[in-house]
Amino acid sequence: MKIQKFWHFILLIAAVILGLYLRIVNPWNSVFTWTARLGGNDPWYYFRLIENCLHNFPNRIWFDPFTHYPFGTFTHFGPFLVYFSAILAKMAGATTPESIRSVIAFIPAIGGALLALPIYLLTKEAFGKQAGIISAFLTVIIPGQLLARSILGFNDHHIWEVFWMTSTLALYVYSINRWKNDPNALRNGKKLAFAVLAGIAYGMYLLTWAPSFYLALFIVIYVFVLMLLDRFVKTDIVDIIYISLITIAIATVMFLPFAFNTPYFSTIHYSPFQLIVLISCLVMLGLFRAIEVLKEKGYYAKIGIKEEYAFPATIVAVLAVIVGVILAISPDFFGMLLGVIGVVQPKGGALTIAEVQPFFTMGGQFSLAPAYLNFGMTFFFGFFGFLCLTKLVYDERKDVHILILLWSLMMFIALCGQNRFAYYFGVVCAVMAGFMLDWLLSKLEFYKALTEKKVNYTRLSIAILLIVLLFAPTFAMAFNQSKYAGGIPKPWWDALVWMRNNTPNKAQYDEYYYELYKPSKNLSQPYPYPFKTYGIISWWDYGHWIEAIAHRMPIANPFQQGIGNKYNNVPGAAPFFTAFNESYANEIAKKLNVKYVISDVEMATGKFYAMAVWAEGSLERANRIYYVGSAIAYLTPTGVLGLTTDYFRVPHGSQTMVVPIPSEKYFETIEAKLHLFDGCGLSHYRMVYESSSSAGSPMGLEEVIYKMIFNRNYAKKFGMPQVNLTPTGYVKIFEFVKGVKVTGKANADSVTVSVTVKTNQNRTFVWQKTVPVVNGTYEVIVPYAQNTMYPVKPVGDYTIRAGNVIKHFSVSDEQVESGATLRIDLI
């Protein structure tokens, strides 16, 4: 009898333990390596906020001049995860960056495992205990984004978004079920507490993710639908209105202290926008209750409006007035509200962001493969569960079932628009698949077979087969995925640690990093920094790493700030790295006060298309300019590398990969010149650091292929020597310098200056530049200094040649930095 009473608690604990195993034990060795590696990009920015909060506790920054240099930005990361992480770090006695990361690495895994609890409550309240337990187990083993965003090291708000959303809905549904058939529920302290708890959960959701104001709109829509279907749905609409009012009111009070952290309307920042939406939802719910009161007192009948038309007529009239007032007072506010719907239509450069791309698309074609990869078999069981629920709503017309149906539909629409919402839809799949399997098991009398001696083995076999079909492949995918949590690559870590310790103003940057900052008065103007600063330009993916590890100021960041474009001539990372000439890149560098440029092999290969799309405005235009098609690269068992467009020409036993074929314009870009050619021919960029090699990675192989294409097709045309066909540093750092102007007379058509440079990886390359002689004089700018403080330096003097005249010279760091002039006549 005790087992019958507590079996679900035992299984819930087992589900949580399984969730912790997958999220902590499996990925342990991939997170705790040469440092405590946080996953992805945004967890590093949270680390930056948490570290700052610990130094200024209980204060935290809401404006950050350390990113989107030189302007700074208001931060949209909510208070929940920052304070939760900081408090746990304090409790653990973590005081160093390494120890802080070691503590906060566990937080997402805890959230992912505990998600089983609200999922159980929600599913149990809608479909019963058995379905709840099935859904709880499915939640912790669903692969794809839900697992990836709740794994060891990925300390981002995503898993907590899902946790608090599900908790809100679970407690909301729990309240609805407990208030039913009790006319005094509003005066019952215990039952009132359930609605208050739903409000607290929603408040936590708002403090985790500002765009969660959508849930208040969803609740209003849900109540609206119930009122429209009042004659057909089994519900007490007055109780649901009161529960909704309490839930949103509590959440609004919790949000209020943070509602003015951003001084303008924003859907993603903590701003008055969300507060206005929340209050408007409360007003709408109050209106719904007023309509019910007017109906009860017969006011509509007195003015000749039939009862069934009372609600829609009033709502249409009121909405028309509200929309008119908003359009008159603040058209921007209304546009932002409609903009929420626009998440299902990302365009332009946004389509290069992996998490923003449409979900059911692979290789430009519709595909169900993403569904299987992200949800395992739960998606397909859940699909039939949704159909079954639709039939159940039609047959039984229960208010709770309608809520689950509308929620599932809303999440599916969001998923179709952006695949980032796969981590949200994972819990929908868990609920729907749990409901579906429970329904099937009940039909097959599986539960009876567990308690009765008489067993129908055919039905039992089918039931077990269904359980295995749902759980086995789903768990196998999650188990394999969870072994590799990911994290910052070692070359990037090494490069940024070097940058922090070996670039100017280290002490000032380190001190300023931990301060609290005054908000900018004008985001279109450079921020008034208290000391001489400089910008670091790299692709936006790496902005948070640059800030959190190097303590330097990135121009572009994963908030998609500082990217810029060519079509509107907006300076930023995209037009800089895709610039076809050095002078255009230099203009951008000067406008943004760039001192260092960081390139990695991914920017030169796989990620280059993203920079091109952001720069040009469309994938079609980017493909037309920077690529000429694709080919099959193969590596034979004997180590021969080749390219072909025909699979039948690939030698037997070769490893293959499809690669884009860069065009001539690609090789003219600053990115190609920096990473593939080591800055050869560039006058104002000198390499100052090189990480370990990209050899052994797919990108390193692609780098070699690109160089092979250049040697075959363009080296002679560009007047450059053949490029060495070996992978080079994964990460390279260049300094933007004025350079030394070398000028003089020459009796030749052109002058060539060259120097052999040795990197800190003991690799050598030749920097070379050829300039024309005009009216008997030449002018060339050289970026390297023989006595430089950097570990990448020339191994000898420059050689300068004009016809048969050869001379040698050297320059100092001071001359390179100041832009000195050196006269050398070659006659």
DSSP class per residue in 677-699: TTTTT-SSEEEEEE-SB-TTSHH
**Tell me: the pLDDT tens digits for 674-692?**
999 999 999 999 999 999 9
**Tell me: the pLDDT tens digits for 724-749?**
999 999 999 999 999 999 999 999 99
Confidence of residue 292 (pLDDT cuts 50, 70, 90): confident
> 545: buried, middle or exposed (CB in 10 Å: 19+, 13-18, 0-12)?
buried
- When pLDDT is averaged across residues 194-206 and rounded to a whole number, the result is 98
> Per the structure block, which two tokens stand in for 172?
């909301």
- When pLDDT is averaged across residues 529-557 and rounded to a whole number, the result is 98
Q: How far apart are CA 787 and CA 545, in angstroms?
A: 30
pLDDT surpassing 60 at residue 245: yes
- When pLDDT is averaged across residues 1-12 and rounded to a whole number, the result is 78
Please report the pLDDT score of residue 826 as a whole number: 96
Q: How far apart are CA 739 and CA 801, in angstroms?
A: 19
- When pLDDT is averaged across residues 783-792 and rounded to a whole number, the result is 96
End-to-end Cα spacing for the chain: 105
Q: Is 681 left (phi over 0), alpha (psi -120 to 50) or beta?
A: left
* Residues whose CB falls within 8 Å of the CB of residue 502, separated by 6 or more in sequence, listed in order: 689, 790
CA distances from 387 to 392, 583, 655 (A): 9, 61, 44
Please report the pLDDT score of residue 325 as a whole number: 65
- When pLDDT is averaged across residues 512-536 and rounded to a whole number, the result is 96
Please report the pLDDT score of residue 6 as a whole number: 78
- When pLDDT is averaged across residues 545-549 and rounded to a whole number, the result is 98
Please report the pLDDT score of residue 643 as a whole number: 87
Q: Is the bond preceding 58 in cis, omega lying within 30 degrees of 0?
A: yes
- Answer yes or no: are the C-beta atoms of 276 and 330 closer than 8 Å: no
* Residues whose CB falls within 8 Å of the CB of residue 308, separated by 6 or more in sequence, listed in order: 231
Please report the pLDDT score of residue 454 as a whole number: 82
Confidence of residue 97 (pLDDT cuts 50, 70, 90): very high
- Answer yes or no: are the C-beta atoms of 162 and 427 closer than 8 Å: yes
Residue 516: helix, strand or coil by DSSP? coil
Residue whose tokens read 């690529």? 627
- When pLDDT is averaged across residues 153-170 and rounded to a whole number, the result is 98
Please report the pLDDT score of residue 299 as a whole number: 75
How many percent of the chain have pLDDT more than 70?
A: 93
Between 42 and 657, where is the model more confident?
42
**Tell me: the pLDDT tens digits for 177-192?**
999 888 888 888 899 9
Q: How far apart are CA 198 and CA 454, in angstroms?
A: 44
- Answer yes or no: are the C-beta atoms of 323 and 334 closer than 8 Å: yes
* Residues whose CB falls within 8 Å of the CB of residue 142, separated by 6 or more in sequence, listed in order: 374, 375, 376, 378, 426, 429, 430, 474, 478
pLDDT surpassing 70 at residue 592: yes
Confidence of residue 124 (pLDDT cuts 50, 70, 90): very high
Please report the pLDDT score of residue 134 as a whole number: 97
Q: How far apart are CA 281 and CA 286, in angstroms?
A: 9
Q: How far apart are CA 652 and CA 662, in angstroms?
A: 26
CA distances from 333 to 211, 274, 336, 561 (A): 14, 11, 5, 22
pLDDT surpassing 80 at residue 13: yes
Q: Is the bond preceding 554 in cis, omega lying within 30 degrees of 0?
A: no
Give a three-class secondary structure readout of 762-826: CCEEEEEEEEECECCEEEEEECCCCCCCCCCEECCCEEEEECCEEEEECCCHHHHHHCCEEECCE
Q: Which residue, among 660, 739, 749, 743, has the nearest Cα to 706 in the 3D structure?
A: 660
As a whole number, the mean pLDDT across the chain is 92
Helix (H) or strand (E) holding 629: strand 627-635
Please report the pLDDT score of residue 262 as a whole number: 94
**Tell me: the pLDDT tens digits for 306-331?**
666 666 777 777 767 666 666 666 66
- Identify how many contiguous H helices and E strands the chain contains and give both numbers: 36, 20
- Answer yes or no: are the C-beta atoms of 550 and 569 closer than 8 Å: no
Please report the pLDDT score of residue 308 as a whole number: 64
